[in-house]
Structure 1
């Protein structure tokens, strides 16, 4: 890796790490760890691998010229030696000094060394409880969204993230972000979090109050289907026609049965009144699946959907009316 000399933060971080490991006689003029924590607090969580490599470059240079026994710091969570990373994760049983360091600790769940992943799993809950909740939430969201692309992490590592998300303070803050988030990956975040049964109690509120229509639609779909699904692995292209080279993008998903049950027709009627066509389309879809349960109620909704301003909803409404007519004629 080549250091980007035009990136001020990158240069600042690189030289601060080297100065932190300066010989003892230079300590009065060296960088304190508080200075490094302040720099890392400014770093975006979108380029964690890049910042990790910058720190590893600085560590290699600093420790080559340093003759004293190596002492453990939060920088060692990103050390180039797996043994040092494991030792650091087991030794640093206190709150993270910045959201950057907690995010890097979460990334150790995808470390290439299994002992490092195990150390991260065993230390995360304690460190999370001692770290400011807003830092934990920012880092946790980034990790949960990226988890499907982590090739080395398995279900045990995913459970470590889920356990943190189930902490009462963290869960309420995540719920609020999902509801109030007007943009961003809130729908995908809700899907990933619903691998835990603890989120089932929040689905009715999210279905009504969430700002993003896609979030409301997912909440309704999970409750009406009776199971939650989420991305387990990275999507891949599957060849469907060798002659033309046509491909289909296949998503690796996993699902589980919900432990709670919800009133089907009440949810269908509730979703039918939603201001978004995306949500009304979900209502129309499940109306079609439940036509025979209550023909009179179904006809009222089908007529409403048949005159909907959204084309996809109108199409489903017309289809529901045709099916209802068939049911009526068959009964006669």
Structure 2
């Protein structure tokens, strides 16, 4: 709690100092180094909170900061900065997007730009669609990838983003430098929403040639499991959104149902090779999927299938061993029905 409060105080102080430098009357671009340092340390999982805080403090500081009295006769000079992307004024947000040049100074500021795809003003969303690819190319790929990870994990909850806006992000994802960094993050991240990120990245072909590598080396078991399932099933599925489904309209009862889309894959690795590798995975999550696929594919596999079934049946995880025993039972029934 104390650490969070210290971080908040640091951000507020940096925002106020930056606003004060803008209202100093100078036409020189204000120094953002302290603000960049403060926002670089923010946890992006709480991005909504930090964006609201920065917007409120920046607006308040600009209002209370007094311009030099000796310049009362001069026309105010409008200095647009990255913080104006979260201005209360939609015209200013749009103008800022169209006039920004160079890359974002950190993940926080690129995330602000990405979130304009969900802006409540259509003209701002249009400006974001046009400008984001250019900003992404000029920004450090690490910053872009961090921002995209947060956006892709949450964009199904964005009420105003349209399909054309999503395509803008998918276009950025498909850039080779970004795609390479995203694949590396999927494999090396020990925490974070990597499983949902994997599914959303499946909308594009950037993972297709690397699925076995992800299945073998991803740190998070759920990511390895998704990679193996995609290889087994020859498709990648993702949640497109959610729609309301009535369960009993008489009592106005219902639920939100996930809308799932998928894309077919061209898998070259033989299924038995995938089964052997996944059966030896250190996580029961992956071994359970392997045992499930074994049951589904029993008839199409060779003589070694019983050995695999016995291996699953002796697994220390109950959900895996249950499937192994069921596979052995099916094999015994098949032998009795069709004795050789």
TM-score by structure 2 length? Answer: 0.84
In 1: Cα distance, 2:222 partner to 2:54 partner: 39
Q: CA RMSD in A?
A: 3.1
Deviation string, structure 1 residues 69-109 (Cα, Å, up to 9, x no partner): 42322222112122221121121132112322111001111
Tell me the equivalent position of 1:197: 205
Structure 2 vs 1, CA of residues 243 and 81 (structure 1 numbering), >3 Å: closer, same or farther? closer
1:313 aligns with 2:325: no
Contact 1:13 1:55 (8 Å CA) reproduced: no
Per-residue CA distance 1:171-203 (angstroms, 9 max, x = gap):
222222221222232222212211212211111
Aligned residue pair count: 326
After superposition, give the CA deviation of every residue in 1:219-255 in whole Å (9 maximum; x if it has no partner).
000111111112223698x776899999877434322
The answer for unaligned runs of 5 or more in structure 2 is 68-74
Instruction: Give the aligned partner of residue 181 of structure 1.
Output: 189
- State how 1:134-153 maps to structure 2 within 5 Å: 134-153=142-161
Answering whether residue 120 of structure 2 is matched by residue 112 of structure 1, we say yes
Secondary structure, aligned partner of 1:223: helix
Distance 1:212 1:235 in 2: 30
1:322 aligns with 2:329: yes
CA separation of 1:39/1:317 partners in 2, compared to 1, >3 Å: closer, same or farther? closer
The alpha-carbon deviation at position 54 of structure 1 amounts to 3.5
Q: Distance in 2 between matches of 1:234 and 1:243?
A: 22
* Unaligned ranges ≥5, structure 1: none
DSSP-derived class of the 2:304 partner:
helix
Offset of 1:16 from its aligned partner? 2.5
Residue in 2 that maps onto 1:59: 59
Work out whether 1:215 is the aligned partner of 2:245. Answer: no
Q: Is the 8 A contact 1:295 1:324 kept in 2?
A: no
SS of corresponding position for 2:303: helix
The C-alpha deviation readout for 1:118-172, integer Å capped at 9, x for no partner, is 2112211111111112221221211111212111112222222222222222222
Instruction: Say if 1:77 and 1:104, in contact at 8 Å, map to a contact too.
Output: yes
Look up the match of 1:76: 84
Take 1:39 and 1:211, find their aligned partners in 2: how far apart are those partners? 30
Are 2:180 and 1:172 aligned?
yes
Residue 51 of structure 1 deviates from its aligned partner by 3.3
